[in-house]
Amino acid sequence: MPPPDHGEPIKTPPEHQVLLAVYDGVQLLDTAGPLEVFSGAAHLMGHGYRVRLASVGGCDVVTQWGVRLGVDLDLARVSGFGGTLLVPGGLGFQDALRDAGLLSEVGRLAPFARRVASVCTGAFILAEAGLLDGRRATTHWGYCSDLAEAYPSVAVEPDAIFVRDSPIITSAGVTAGVDMALSLVEEDYGVAMARRLAKWLVVFMQRPGGQSQFSIWQRSRPVRNEALRHLLSDIVAAPESDFSIPAMAEQLSMSVRHFGRLFTREVGISPGQYVERVRVEAARTMLETTEEGLDTVGRRCGFRSAEIMRRAFIRQLGISPRACRERFRSTSVIKV
């Protein structure tokens, strides 16, 4: 169901045109998610974005699960494009990497676009076109190592929901494309419009780009050392407790040096990083679900002060605790 129509014609400035470069095997939701966000914003405002699908030759494409998408334009006939060029991902991305026409057209249009974006494995197409050389980027968690291996000049950030290395934005898998598109709507038309649109779409206000694709528990390696497994459980259960490195080493009856080496080898990150990530996740949950002040949240989650918590949030999530609370609660508390 579309947002309510205000009966006004949609006027599209060139910089707010959105072109989705699609191909056979593209993921339907990678395409439809951003399309719904941009088109929904235009409908709510009565002006703004104009979204079109383009392909090599202007032919309709078939998504990875067999749904046919009608295409508006031949990529080769697009000129003077100054809007957002977006490349969705999908299981067909590997064949797309061998499509010289697609790569050529994406590479031709990118320098003139206001910004270039990808969803999921669409990042591989941008990388193959040379658009991610020397840049930070992300993709679906299952393909991050493949992207880093295939394109060593790309600084892959496997934990991010989306990464902006202006003017290029890459997002993680599937629904992360909605988060990215909402962030671009906020950039263009302000946070109020983005909140209104998120409410209409019945989704959270966009997760900040730096937010991890996984929680710390999902990201941690399986730990073989039994004593260390118990320690990790203790940290999660009571993040406010004393988990300084000396205290943890003493708990396991180890020297600080041996403990640090064992922890990093088994868990994959340092003890201090792990404790900080657990505390940030605990604090984020409190911020989203309670009315407690920042000082109280910080204290209950093991931070000595609200300022220390703020710096940890910036490191881990790329956003302050206050902004995190505002963004997540902006839609979670609104009844549709």
Q: Give the pairing of strands 84-87 and 155-156.
A: unpaired
pLDDT score at 161: 84
Mean pLDDT score of the chain? 87
Give the tens place of pLDDT for each residue, 3-33. Answer: 443 333 334 677 889 999 999 999 999 999 9
For residue 43 the two structure tokens come to 């409908």
Distances (CA, A) of 124 to 8, 75, 96: 39, 19, 9
For residue 152 the two structure tokens come to 């060593």
Helices 226-237 and 256-267, axial angle in degrees (round to 10): 80
pLDDT score at 212: 55
Q: What is the pTM of this model?
A: 0.66
Q: What is the mean pLDDT of residues 41-45?
A: 93
Give the tens place of pLDDT for each residue, 145-167. Answer: 999 999 999 999 887 788 899 89
Helix (H, G, I), strand (E, B) or coil at 116: strand
The CA-based dihedral angle spanning residues 318, 20, 178, 44, taken in that order and rounded to the nearest 10 degrees: 120
Could you tell me the pLDDT band of residue 331, with boundaries at 50, 70 and 90? very low
Q: Is 90 left (phi over 0), alpha (psi -120 to 50) or beta?
A: left
Q: What is the mean pLDDT of residues 98-114?
A: 97
pLDDT score at 332: 37
- Which residues, 6+ apart, have CB-to-CB distance to 305 below 8 Å? 295, 298
Domains of the chain, with CATH numbers?
14-201 (3.40.50.880), 216-332 (1.10.10.60)
pLDDT score at 207: 55
